[in-house]
Structure 1
Amino acid sequence: MAKEIGTYEKAVETIERLGNGGAFLMTGSEGNPMTIGWGLIGQIWGRPIFQVLVRPSRHSFALLQTINEFTVCVPTDGHAKALALCGTRSGRDLDKIAACEFTTKRSAHVAVPYIAECPVHYECRVVHINDVVNASIDAEIAAKSYPKGDFHRIYYGEILGVYGA
């Protein structure tokens, strides 16, 4: 069973994992996992915040717009295949929880479940959103990361709880 840990206790490991394979963003009341490789953990407005980026074309985008809550589940090295599947397949067409043979558990602070097989998870409530816009982004970053003009929306999630095994 996951126990509550300090808000920033696993922050460095989490950021390193984002840059090296990714993590699972879960949203929707049933939990739809999506692989994310970009995000930030920090302090804004005197609150602990986890920023996640989601493109409007993703199924998770519509779910997140509706529920305004998410969990970020930090995987182990053994989850490479699941990360690949959840980064390339849509929850519109596939039950990714079943396909990855994941077990979901009820979160303590949000309606979105977490993945029990992940040793660390963050429970977050959206307190702000920002859209990445072409006029405000470095041209080199825009050309490399957004060649189709499919800019992300940034969700600022107040971290309500962090849990580790």
Structure 2
Amino acid sequence: MDKIDFKGSVVLNPVPVVLITSRNKAGKDNVFTVGWTGTICTKPPMLSISIRPERLSYEYICETMEFIVNMPSSNMVKAVDYCGVKPGRKFDKIKDMNFTMKDGENVNVAYIDDCPVSIECKVKDIIKLGSHHMFIAEVVGSHINSNLIDDNGKIHFEKGNLISYCHGEYFKLPEKSIGSFGFSVRKNLILKKLILPLLLGKMI
């Protein structure tokens, strides 16, 4: 396939799209949409979000060093878009979108109960990169809808009706996977465990 040399932009897509809630020292809440986020460490559990310094949430999070990542479902896509384009200094987006808010357990920030998953975070470092500054945060707690967790404790994110962002558009994530971690070698491992002992037994 022919390739086009495309410069000057980060073309890593798709990415998760999340709603970030924060609260300033005066107790005022705000929410805005973030596409630049990701898991960066397992132990301790850590993630990052990148924010433009001119955003109101940047100011709030710098004040308290806490925030909550709320993962919206596809039926919330209009609210996700609204919270991404409307400025928090002029609009009360939480009220406008009629979000149901609940106080966090480990941070002094409210999370959006309408979202199937909410992740409480404490900021450990802020790296000034350019147009965006990266907030590196430790996960200190999560709130997950009970219908997403099976009897074995596995979280079925595919049942959360989650959405992603890809080059200016929102997409609903599929419910069926095209593979699971390790599936490319799993069959060979099973064959080795079952067949090799039989072959060795015949050779002895």
4+ runs of 1 displaced by more than 6 Å?
Answer: none
**Length-normalised TM-score, structure 2:** 0.60
Aligned partners of 1:127, 1:32: CA distance in 2, in Å? 21
What TM-score does the superposition give when structure 1 sets the normalisation length?
0.74
Q: Does residue 136 of structure 2 align to residue 156 of structure 1?
A: yes
Query: Which secondary structure state, in structure 2, belongs to the residue aligned with residue 47 of structure 1?
Result: coil
Matches within 5 A, 1:127-142: 127-133=124-130
Task: Tell me if 1:48 matches 2:45.
Answer: yes
Cα distance in 2 for partners of 1:155, 1:21 equals: 16
The residue aligned with 2:94 is 97
Q: Is the 8 A contact 1:19 1:37 kept in 2?
A: no
Unaligned runs of 5+ in 1: 1-17, 134-150
Q: Which stretches in structure 2 are left out of the alignment for 5+ residues?
A: 1-12, 146-204
Root-mean-square deviation over aligned CA pairs: 1.7
Q: Aligned partners of 1:50, 1:80: CA distance in 2, in Å?
A: 23
Letter in 1 for 2:144: G
Percent identical among aligned pairs is 30
* Residue-by-residue CA offset, 1:8-63 (whole Å, 9 max, x unaligned): xxxxxxxxxx946711011114431110011111317x421110011011111111
Structure 2: distance between partners of 1:63 and 1:157: 15
Matches of 1:22 and 1:60, distance apart in 2:
16
Greater RCO (CA < 8 Å, at least 6 residues apart): 1
